[in-house]
Copies of this chain bind each other. A is one copy, B any other.
Amino acid sequence: MSMNELARRVKDASIKLAGAETELKNNALAKIADALQQRKDEIIMANREDLQRSEQEHLPAPLLKRLRFDEAKIMDAVDGIKSLIKLEDPVGKTLLSTELDEGLELYKVTCPIGLIGVIFESRPDALVQISTLCLKSGNGVLLKGGSEAKETNRVLAGIISEAAEEAGVPANWVKLLETRSDVDEMLKMDEYIDLIIPRGSNEFVRYIMDNSRIPVMGHADGICHCYVDEDAGIDMAVKIVVDSKTQYVAVCNAMETLLVHNKIAAKFLPELKKALDAKQVEMAGCPKTLAIIPVAPAGEEEWKTEYLDYKLSIKVVESIDEAISHINTYGSGHTDSIITGDKGKAVRFMNYVDSGNVFWNCSTRFSDGFRYGFGAEVGISTSKVHARGPVGLEGLVIYKYKLIGNGHIVEDYANRSKNFKHNKMNKKCPM
**CA A235 to CA B371, docked complex, whole Å:** 58
Tell me whether B362 and A403 are in contact (CB under 8 A). yes
A352 contact set on B, CB distance < 8 A:
15-16, 18-19
Tell me whether B405 and A359 are in contact (CB under 8 A). yes
A210 contact set on B, CB distance < 8 A:
213
Select from chain B the residue with minimum beta-carbon distance to A361. Answer: B405
Query: Would A100 and B371 be within 8 Å (CB), given that A195-B384, A385-B386 are in contact?
Result: yes
A238-255 interface with B by 8 A CB criterion: 239-240, 242-243, 247-248
A367 contact set on B, CB distance < 8 A:
401, 403
Instruction: Bin the interface of chain A by size.
Output: 35 or more
A373 contact set on B, CB distance < 8 A:
98, 100, 106, 420, 422
The verdict on A90 contacting chain B, using a C-beta distance below 8 Å, is: no
Tell me whether B247 and A366 are in contact (CB under 8 A). no
The verdict on A331 contacting chain B, using a C-beta distance below 8 Å, is: no
Tell me whether A385 and B15 are in contact (CB under 8 A). no
Q: Which of A100, A113, A242, A351 has the most CB of B within 10 A?
A: A351
**Of A62-70, A123-131, A143-151, A408-416, the one touching chain B:** A408-416
Minimum C-beta distance from A376 to chain B (A): 13
The verdict on A259 contacting chain B, using a C-beta distance below 8 Å, is: no
Minimum C-beta distance from A80 to chain B (A): 15
Interface string of A372-414 (1 = CB under 8 A from B): 1100000000011110111000000011111111111111011
Minimum C-beta distance from A371 to chain B (A): 7
Minimum C-beta distance from A221 to chain B (A): 14
The answer, among B15, B19, B361, B383, for a CB contact under 8 Å with A404, is B361
**CA A371 to CA B412, docked complex, whole Å:** 12
**CA A363 to CA B407, docked complex, whole Å:** 8
Select from chain B the residue with minimum beta-carbon distance to A372. Answer: B106
Tell me whether A357 and B403 are in contact (CB under 8 A). yes
The verdict on A198 contacting chain B, using a C-beta distance below 8 Å, is: no
A366 contact set on B, CB distance < 8 A:
100, 104, 403, 405, 408, 410
The verdict on A215 contacting chain B, using a C-beta distance below 8 Å, is: yes
Tell me whether B385 and A195 are in contact (CB under 8 A). yes
A82-128 interface with B by 8 A CB criterion: 98, 100, 104, 106, 108, 111, 113-114
A348 contact set on B, CB distance < 8 A:
19
**CA A385 to CA B394, docked complex, whole Å:** 12
A398 contact set on B, CB distance < 8 A:
384-386, 388
**CA A197 to CA B125, docked complex, whole Å:** 38
Tell me whether B356 and A400 are in contact (CB under 8 A). yes
The verdict on A365 contacting chain B, using a C-beta distance below 8 Å, is: yes
Taking A362-B406, A362-B407, A362-B409 as known contacts, 14 extra A-B pairs with beta carbons closer than 8 A to each other, sorted by chain A number, are A15-B352, A18-B354, A195-B385, A217-B385, A239-B407, A239-B409, A346-B404, A346-B431, A347-B431, A361-B404, A361-B408, A362-B403, A363-B410, A389-B401
